[in-house]
Amino acid sequence: MTTPHPWLVTPARRPAAGTRLVCLPHAGGSASFYRRWAQHLDCDVELQIVQYPGREERVDEPFLTDPEALVEAVAGAVLETARPDVETVLFGHSMGALIGYETVRTLAARGLRVGRLFVSGQAAPDERIGREPATALSDDAILHEVETHGGTQMSVFDDPEIREMVLPILRNDYLLIDSYSPRATPPVDASVIALAGDRDTSVSVARVRRWEGVAGKEFHLHTFPGGHFFLAEQRAQVITVLHQYLRTGA
């Protein structure tokens, strides 16, 4: 369906697919977070995952600390691999939701309309983060926050190699979030489908619901059992919801 691109990982190519689902990882995350989704998606949906620089196969590339530069790069990759007969849908979790939201805007300005945007585990763009700035956080404080969100147990970071590998990625992404400022523009010309964990201590369901204010078309909210990483805990249920919209075009 699409040609290879360094920014996009495609776990299973589906040349006849009518929809491509472009997924954007969370802070500290990588393409591997979504890879298993490919085997559960309908055959008419091709999964593409944004791989941010500085991780996995792009580990030797420098990080991007400017959110606008990151959005420009992601939008460029999506646009370069777009086909007129294939619908593009974006899905972002946590930080990825903000990047996805801005990417939809950028793509629209360049002539590619994304009709549906899935946002997960993230407050609306105009809400400020509820933590200290990354510049004020020690390494242990950052790792503790990751554990609090249910991402990884602190004991994993006792391994010096893992700690050395993960910390620069987390700190870069936290700095990127800190420097993000939404543009004062009209709602996106898209339906917004928001997903939330009912026990997410980092962002409440009420804060996720406020994405309704940026939806230019329909807005839907789905709540799942679990914390910030309910996507991993409730993968089958999440994909069922995805199919509900991908099949109907709602």
Nearest one of 3, 194, 6 to 86, comparing CA atoms: 3
Handedness of CA 48, 81, 69, 197 (dihedral sign): negative
Average pLDDT over residues 90-112: 97
Which residue among 30, 94, 191, 202 is the active-site one?
94
Rounded to whole angstroms, how far apart are CA atoms 234 and 211?
22
Per-residue buried b or exposed e for 22-43, using 16+ beta carbons within 10 Å of the residue's own CB: bbbbbbbbbbebbeebbeebbe
Rounded to whole angstroms, how far apart are CA atoms 248 and 92?
20
CB 42 within 8 A of CB 246: yes
Encode pLDDT of 173-195 as tens digits: 999 999 998 877 789 999 999 99
CATH class (in words) of the domain with range 8-128+184-248: alpha beta
Tell me whether residue 228 is one of the annotated catalytic residues: yes
Tell me whether residue 94 is one of the annotated catalytic residues: yes
Kindly report the backbone phi and psi dihedral angles of residue 157, in degrees, each rounded to the nearest multiple of 5, phi listed first: -80, 0
Encode pLDDT of 224-246 as tens digits: 999 999 999 999 999 999 999 99
**What CA–CA distances, in Å, run from 217 to 9, 100, 241?**
29, 16, 18
Neighbours of 221 (CB within 10 A): 15
Amino acid at site 37: W
Q: Residue 115, SS3?
A: coil
Q: Residue 194, SS3?
A: strand
Encode pLDDT of 8-60 as tens digits: 999 999 999 999 999 999 999 999 999 999 999 999 999 999 999 999 999 99
Is the entire prediction scored with pTM above 0.85? yes
**What CA–CA distances, in Å, run from 151 to 6, 117, 135, 174, 206?**
26, 24, 21, 15, 22
